[in-house]
Structure 1
Amino acid sequence: LLRRAPRASPPRLTKMGCSTSRSADVASAKLFVPELEELATMLQTALKDNFETVETEVTECIDLTKWGCAAPGIGGNCRIIDVGGVPNLLDPKHHKTAIFQLPTVAEQVGLKGAYIFGACAASHLVVGVNAELMPTEHISKNCRCSKYAKVVEDGSHIMEAYDSPEFGLLGNFVACEGKTTPVVKVRVKKRKGEDNFVTCMRKGLAKALEESKVKVDGAKSAQIGIGGVFKVVSGKIHGHVMPDFKKTVMIDGPEVDEWLNFYEMGPDLTCLSVFLSGDPAKADVGKHLTLSFSP
Structure 2
Amino acid sequence: MVQRDKLYNIPEIIRKVQGPGRIFAVGAGAGPWPFFNSNCEGIFNMLVDKDDKLTNGSYTATVRGENEECVLEKLPDTEPRCALLLNLFLSQGLPGKVIGIHAKRRICKKNFVECIRTGLEEHYGDKVVGLGGIFVIKRGCANQHVMRDFSKSPLNSEEDVNKWLKFYEMPAQLNCLGTMVTKDLDLDLRLEHFHSFSFSNWGGHYHYDTTPDSVEYEAYLNVAERVLRVDRPVKV
TM range (shorter): 0.7 to 0.9
Equivalent residue in structure 1 for 2:11, among 103, 107, 129: 103
Please state how far the C-alpha of 1:134 moved relative to its aligned partner: 0.5
What corresponds to 1:130 in structure 2? Answer: 39
Whether the 8 Å CA contact 1:130–1:150 is kept in 2: the answer is yes
Q: Per-residue deviation at 1:251?
A: 2.6
User: One-letter code of the match for 2:104?
Assistant: K
Instruction: Give the one of 6, 25, 33 matched to 1:116.
Output: 25
Q: Which runs of 5+ in 2 are unaligned?
A: 200-236
Whose strand fraction is larger, Structure 1's or Structure 2's? 2
Shift, 1:249, TM fit: 1.9
TM-score, scaled relative to structure 1: 0.62
**Count of residues in correspondence between the two structures:** 192
TM-score (norm. length: structure 2): 0.77
Q: Which amino acid in the other structure matches residue 159 of structure 1?
A: L
Report runs of 4+ in structure 1 exceeding 3 Å deviation. Answer: none
Show the counterpart of 1:239. Answer: 144
1:126-275 paired onto structure 2 within 5 Å: 126-140=35-49, 142-153=54-65, 154-163=67-76, 164-210=79-125, 221-275=126-180
CA 1:251–1:108: 2 relative to 1, 3 Å: farther
Following superposition, the deviation at residue 283 of structure 1 comes to 1.4
SS at match of 1:195: coil
Equivalent residue, structure 1, for 2:208: none
C-alpha contact (below 8 Å) 1:130/1:243 kept by paired residues: yes
Q: Given the superposition, is the C-alpha separation of residues 179 and 284 from structure 1 closer, same or farther in structure 2, using an over 3 Å criterion?
A: same
Contact 1:111 1:176 in 2 (8 A): no
The alignment partner of 2:145 has SS state of strand
1:232 alignment partner, SS class = strand
Tell me the distance in 2 between the aligned counterparts of 1:258 and 1:105.
33
Whole-Å Cα distance in 2 between the matches of residues 183 and 121 of structure 1? Answer: 27
Q: Which runs of 5+ in 1 are unaligned?
A: 1-90, 211-220
Task: State the identity %.
Answer: 28
Q: In 1, are the aligned partners of 2:11 and 2:54 still within 8 Å (CA)?
A: no
CA distance in 1, matches of 2:190, 2:16: 19
